[in-house]
Structure 1
């Protein structure tokens, strides 16, 4: 005998726009597959600001251009140093030259300007600003679990195999956090490689989708994305720091009006340089993203790479489940509440994975269509996700190259278990607080 609850989930109603039958599932949004009624009822507000808006528009435009180029040529080929890339590097060197000039001017004002009191003070300010802007090697994040080769030989063995499959070397360290994301970068003066692995996404992927994820991230090393290099990447950081420092303050009095007026022209100049460097480097970065997607398909299979694209659409769903589990664990106080929290911490990642696996295909399709409407991407520099998915499906499918079987999955899970436990405690307590 069916319950009323089950009957409600299998109900249907007519679309108010075209009259087509709409399956009703009380857990998810009602929408029409025929006319797209209500397919995106709560569009995400984009990040405010002129720079972010221009960056999003450029990412979408270049993403569409490169997707069309892939369709016409059957691929993008390897990265090349075109005129825009050369100009981006030249502009980045100019930005670094400005930082050096600021340093030299500060030193001269401090050393030679003692005839007045003002000049040394201006020199000190210039040196402080130069110290903030001066390129420096990144450091490993504090309070984040970090694994080295001796800590996780199985995980590093998988990373090495995937790296060889995309034509590059492995990493020196793996940072593990709770985010629904993964990334690669370098740290230290020796520019050692580090992979940041977010459990939010790692735990909801199938084994082959995890291989595809690693293939995509390590593919960035193989293709040399200039936006993350020592020259262009640091220039973007310096300009972003300038842009933030020169941002206008709310005018509450004459002093604020004066400061905003004095910084108006420098602020516009910095904004112009930042937008120009974005414009010159973003197409190369978009190309690197598409090539990294191709690497994901080569090592994990096209099916796994496409599955990864679909999983990227579940970011809000996973974050909501993390909050729900944590909030439920904080409802009870005393000893019983502590036991509930401890149980929630032990089961957190399994619950998140089960919740993501339970999302029906109809809801995933709605997220695909909504993402295509709003130009969904991982961030403002990535091509739209639906274009990346389309390009993966356009060519001949790649079979599985690197198999991530049950034994390797179990070994890797054991190596990640301490980090998972520590992060589960942090997530439950932060969300509950």
Structure 2
């Protein structure tokens, strides 16, 4: 297995921009902290679709406004009651659901009331199929990834329960584990059970206390609520997305297609406008929910751990590159006389190697990435506040000690519980890169 590069004797050079002395490490970008020379040599971010770009701009604007409010107060983000935007968002969501209900009623009337006509029931069945794709459904557990329950990982669930109590909520019913450099929570089933998904690409590079902060952030979403995550609003957004996809123009191969595209033009843009309206109405509340979740991370794991946990979100490309390189190496190892043994060793050590590799990243590289984050507006996705603003708000608030401590013994016990899932994910990565 590829190991972390040996530490070489430090090298220095003069900055071409200002003449300051800068350190040189062949593994990382050489840059100047004094004048930001070469701080961001990568290619520009790829062009985004109009909707994604709109949401990113909106998230950045609201994120900036909320960050300034939090910094002026000198305290962590506070939960506020429903404002006019939230009430209006629920109203728009109910309007969307009423349209779905109206279509369902119309389908029933066509089937039952027009049974003697022969053609109306057929139209009703077609309409019923369309409505079936628009009705909000309960969430489901992730597929094709390991899912753990309390009996599978008692120490992990014990930690989750302690963190949940620290942020003012209850634990989860299931924990899914995938390979992503991310983590998230949602509900599933008609009983609204809770599931947390831990991405091994993020979990494995965090210290035990940073993992507590990560759990605190994710569970904070349950504690503080988020209008965008509610069944009513989330279902409406999903329905609008389905409507828009259904109304997309078709390739024109006949006059029928041309007429159809003309007929759906106005409805399609009406649906698009409703989606943008609902997205805009819920965006500010969603931004506040992220800052509140960050405050929960600080309460549970400490402010220091929450801040460094956010730094780890900036190195997703390094995590993905290492996992891809190592899994490809394991695939190629199958060709040698000891290929199977080598591959099994890489499967066992994949995640430990990732932690060691990422652990060797110096603070200067994190600082460079923080500056790039501020320039480019890095965020976890199109709805999150920019990461540098989240970090700045945590650092500006009064420091908080950890309410939940994950010592070495507990961390080892949890690692043992996650070992089968980690091995399965390693095999998944290797097969994926082999294809």
Give me the TM-score of the superposition, normalised by structure 1. 0.94
Report the secondary structure of 2:25's partner residue: coil
**Are 1:309 and 1:389, in contact at CA under 8 Å, matched by a contact in 2?**
yes
**Are 1:79 and 1:288, in contact at CA under 8 Å, matched by a contact in 2?**
no
Q: Match for residue 166 of structure 1?
A: 167
Using a 3 Å threshold, how does the CA distance of structure 1 residues 307 and 250 change in structure 2: closer, same or farther? farther
Q: Match for residue 373 of structure 1?
A: 375
Q: How far 1:46 moved relative to its partner?
A: 5.2
Using a 3 Å threshold, how does the CA distance of structure 1 residues 361 and 251 change in structure 2: closer, same or farther? farther
Q: How far 1:279 moved relative to its partner?
A: 0.5
Q: How far 1:251 moved relative to its partner?
A: 5.2
For the residues of structure 1 that align with 2:250 and 2:228, how far apart are their CA atoms? 29
Using a 3 Å threshold, how does the CA distance of structure 1 residues 47 and 107 change in structure 2: closer, same or farther? farther
Report the secondary structure of 2:374's partner residue: helix
Name the stretch that deviates more: 265-274 or 76-85: 76-85
Q: Match for residue 69 of structure 1?
A: 69
Q: Of the two structures, which has the highest relative contact order with CA contacts closer than 8 Å and spacing of 6 or more?
A: 2
Using a 3 Å threshold, how does the CA distance of structure 1 residues 331 and 71 change in structure 2: closer, same or farther? same
Give me the TM-score of the superposition, normalised by structure 2. 0.93
For the residues of structure 2 that align with 1:73 and 1:252, how far apart are their CA atoms? 61
Q: Match for residue 318 of structure 2?
A: 317
Using a 3 Å threshold, how does the CA distance of structure 1 residues 408 and 7 change in structure 2: closer, same or farther? closer
Do structure 1's residue 179 and structure 2's residue 180 form an aligned pair?
yes
Using a 3 Å threshold, how does the CA distance of structure 1 residues 398 and 122 change in structure 2: closer, same or farther? same
Q: Match for residue 340 of structure 1?
A: 342
Q: How far 1:400 moved relative to its partner?
A: 1.9
Report the secondary structure of 1:201's partner residue: helix
For the residues of structure 2 that align with 1:302 and 1:244, how far apart are their CA atoms? 43
**Are 2:74 and 2:398, in contact at CA under 8 Å, matched by a contact in 1?**
no
Q: Match for residue 240 of structure 2?
A: 239
Q: Match for residue 125 of structure 1?
A: 126
Q: How far 1:74 moved relative to its partner?
A: 2.9
Report the secondary structure of 1:263's partner residue: helix
Do structure 1's residue 100 and structure 2's residue 113 form an aligned pair?
no
Q: Match for residue 212 of structure 1?
A: 213
Listed one character per residue, the Cα deviations across residues 172-199 of structure 1 (whole Å, up to 9, x for unaligned) are 1111111111111111100011111111
Q: Match for residue 428 of structure 1?
A: 430
Q: Match for residue 111 of structure 1?
A: 112
Q: List aligned pairs for 1:248-397, cutoff 5 A.
A: 248-249=249-250, 256-332=257-333, 333=335, 335-397=337-399
Do structure 1's residue 81 and structure 2's residue 110 form an aligned pair?
no
Gaps of 5+ in 1: none
Gaps of 5+ in 2: none
Q: How far 1:214 moved relative to its partner?
A: 0.4
Listed one character per residue, the Cα deviations across residues 100-157 of structure 1 (whole Å, up to 9, x for unaligned) are 1111112222333356665434322221111011011111122211111111110011
Using a 3 Å threshold, how does the CA distance of structure 1 residues 38 and 123 change in structure 2: closer, same or farther? farther
Q: Match for residue 55 of structure 1?
A: 55
**Are 1:344 and 1:428, in contact at CA under 8 Å, matched by a contact in 2?**
no
Using a 3 Å threshold, how does the CA distance of structure 1 residues 323 and 249 change in structure 2: closer, same or farther? farther
Aligned residues: 429
Q: How far 1:294 moved relative to its partner?
A: 0.6
Using a 3 Å threshold, how does the CA distance of structure 1 residues 20 and 166 change in structure 2: closer, same or farther? same
Q: How far 1:253 moved relative to its partner?
A: 6.3
Q: Match for residue 414 of structure 1?
A: 416
Q: How far 1:7 moved relative to its partner?
A: 10
Q: How far 1:249 moved relative to its partner?
A: 4.4
Q: How far 1:337 moved relative to its partner?
A: 2.7
For the residues of structure 1 that align with 2:95 and 2:320, how far apart are their CA atoms? 41
Q: How far 1:84 moved relative to its partner?
A: 0.5
For the residues of structure 2 that align with 1:254 and 1:386, how far apart are their CA atoms? 52
For the residues of structure 2 that align with 1:124 and 1:32, how far apart are their CA atoms? 66
Do structure 1's residue 18 and structure 2's residue 14 form an aligned pair?
no
**Are 1:243 and 1:271, in contact at CA under 8 Å, matched by a contact in 2?**
yes
Using a 3 Å threshold, how does the CA distance of structure 1 residues 284 and 156 change in structure 2: closer, same or farther? same
- RMSD value, Cα: 2.0
For the residues of structure 2 that align with 1:86 and 1:201, how far apart are their CA atoms? 36
For the residues of structure 2 that align with 1:8 and 1:34, how far apart are their CA atoms? 24
For the residues of structure 2 that align with 1:68 and 1:228, how far apart are their CA atoms? 25
